[in-house]
Structure 1
Amino acid sequence: MLNAKFFFALLLLLAVAAGNGAYCFTKKDSLLQILKKELKSSRYDQLKEARLRRIRSLLSESASQSYQRRYQLYSRMLQEYMPYQFDSSYVYVKKMMEASEKEGDSYGLQESQLKLLQIFTTAGMFTEAGELLSDLHDESIPAGLKGLFYDRKARFYESLADYNNDRHSRKYRAEAEKQFIKMTSASPPNAFERMIARAEVPDSLGNRRPSAGFYLHFITHHGLSNHEIAMVAMRLSHHYSGDDKIALLALSALSDIRSSTKYTQAVLHLGEALYKAGDLKTAYECINKAVSDAAFYNARSHKIDIQNVLPLIAGKTIMETEQQRDKLIISSLLFALIGVTAICIIAIVFIQMKKIKVNERLIQKQNGQLAAVNLKLMEHTRINEEYIGFFFKKSFSYISLLERLKRTVERKIKMKKFDDALETIAALQITREREDLYKSLDQIFLKLLPDFIPAFNELLKPEDQIWPQKEGSLNPVLRIFALIRLGIKDDETIAGILDYSISTIYTYKIRIKAKAIVKGEEFDKRVMDIKFINC
């Protein structure tokens, strides 16, 4: 085994560097904490979609370009989609096959067929993969594709063995091992696939080579991409157990997320390992991620693997939840009596407070009603005071006038100056006296309601508003509604005061109401709502 501190420090350094993080931990839990944050992130998929859009844009302009250029762009799209989405991978590998077949490029066609074999294998479409493999023969494969051919063939038999897991699996694994051996001799000396497959090749004594140190060195010294780190860490996890295995699987899952790899076994195996270690919460999060990735990629075999694991973890999670629930019920029962007592006390206090609030609202309502009554009483008192004083003065003035007139007429009659008596009576100017009365009424009314004219005009349209020519006075129309505001609503009484006919008063009222912006009783109410000063 490698030195534990060095091993974890190296893994964390690698994880943080790949994710541009800022973490300083030295335990396996640190990798899991980083992984949990990344499980919630969608930025890597957004970056993947941005790359796909750029290549797709180039493809839209490639119709007039050479076959090599189009084949290259199809290959780039396939490279992006292969670990990301099965359906799109299949579309672009078929485009590569069609383009190379049309061009007569046998090398490109066989390269595309090998990639299609990989797609079928990862998707669990073993029947289609087997049919395609039967059409590919060693002798017809170009030297440059031999290593890829043996690798894809080995992966096919290895996946078939894992999928069937029956008496035929040993035969499939033996065939896979045979193809891995062929690949090591056919691949270039430093080819990535050859390097990560070395752990699967037996040495001269028939034993598997120790690969943990080899892979760890490979991870840290070859500038691998996130996807390649995920593959190597996954292979390396087979040679460890316990926390070491979980750390490697977490590194692989983390790298898969950062490379937007949806066809991945790492997060599923990590969920299984965490489940066995008793970390059900994180295990469930990992399995949910595996479910969403499998649904997105649309891999049949991967969905079956998840379906085998998910019920176990879900069942254990439910059982643990039920145990926690039982503990909670017991704890709740212990506090039940105290709770019931507290609730009773709170209920009594609440009822009393509610009664107090009801009484407060009733008092406030009654106070409001009293205030309204007091306001009206103040208005009536003010009116009475002003108009009683006014009429006392006017009455005294008219009595004095009548008294002087009486003495003058009596004296002239006694002196038998009848013509002079008639002239004295004729000299009385009733019209002027009435105008003086209206003027006094206007002054007193506007003193009590100084805002009556603008407030009344707010009820009319701008073009229909009524403004007296002389400040401090009312015109006949305003005088009618001033009397109404004072409580004189009978048309006959208003007509007598203003020396108009009843029909004239009625016509004025109807005409104004027809021009008002509010109609009917609302207009009358608004007029009566015009406030007295200081009331």
Structure 2
Amino acid sequence: MNDRMKQDESKLLLSYQLASSGMYKEAVDILESIDRGTINARFLTDYYSCFDHVYGELAFYTQDKVSSAGYRKISDAYKDSLFHVVDHSTDLYLSMKETAYRDNSEFAEALQVNDMRLSKVKSGTPEYALITFHRALAFQQNGDRNQEKKFLALSALSDIQSAIKDHASLWMLAQLLYEDGDVERAYHYIRFSWDETNFYNARLRSLQSAGILSLIDKTYQAKIERQNRQLENYLMLISALVILLFVALAYIYCQMKKLSVARNNLQQVNEQLKALNEELKQINGCLQSTNIELSESNQIKEEYIGRFIKLCSTYIDKLDAYRRMVSKKISGGQTAELLRIARSQDTLDLELKELYDNFDSAFLQLFPDFVKRFNELLQPDAAILPKKGELLNTELRIFALVRLGIEDSSQIAEFLRYSVNTIYNYRAKVKNKAQVSRDDFENMVRNIR
């Protein structure tokens, strides 16, 4: 295109990037290829900024103190030129001003300038990551460790959100966490930072983080080794307990065999006792008075047990009565009447009603507040209440079975004499009225006390 302005702009961008990657010779060569006398005035700020950046980086990373001082003078000279041409409304000017305050230990003024810069950017942007990093540096020099960690963390988050690979925030934060004893997080942070640095291929950044990475890695590996030793000790302890368990099982097995032998001996003794039963008949007279007292005790036991077997006994009696009625009708030749009775649904309905009444009564004795607590799970205008004369209705009875642990719709349908689809629709309809999550509704029903 033979566009001189675009060539100069591209060279400035490329030199800045090369300097950030540690390729200082290449960056300087590119900058010196730009004619200062013919460069467009709009690029002067970038021109001086690139020179300041390159020589500033050289001064910071050069091991030779004499060379470092020389590079620092060159950087300061370009920085001075930059101050004369930079627009005072730009972030670059504010950044230079903040750096000057920070270098002079004027931390309050540096933070005020940083506040102005932060107010102009949003979190999660590259600019926010850089400004919060500068703020962390101010707190570092001021000795405020907690604030330093806070803004390093904010800077690292924005770096990651912006997909920035060349960053210092995270490995500096890892170093602080390591010094505070948080080795686990420090290790994860420094490993992540190292992977990002390798991806970006910033060689000097790798040198910066290599030392702390090695230190944290050794500490972390030592921690893992300690944990492994603990696990080995626990494994040995568990192995010893397993051996003791097998010994105990063997002992129990031997005791059970002895008990089996004792049972056989007892059986032989029982045979001998049969011969003595004749002699005990003479004592039965004396025991009759005792039997009267035992009979009273048995009545109490029968009454208590009767609460559990009453329903079964009732159905047996009804079945016997039904058998006698059928026998009588057949004997009397009343087969038509017997057929009419067999086809009638009334008897079945009465038996089902009695079954459900017994179920409802027994259930509400166990869970007297079930209806109230169940309706608390539903929306205020969707309460389910039994009709007058009822203890529970169909919806309440379905979820009463769920509360008792019967969750299979086919089992519920068989008990309530409905189709499986009807039971499924009832359950879905009630869950749609719930004011809690549909997935949690039945679990909360099962927890009703």
With structure 1 as the length reference, what TM-score do the two structures score? 0.42
Q: Which structure is higher in RCO with an 8 Å CA cutoff and minimum separation 6? A: 1
- TM-score relative to the length of structure 2: 0.49
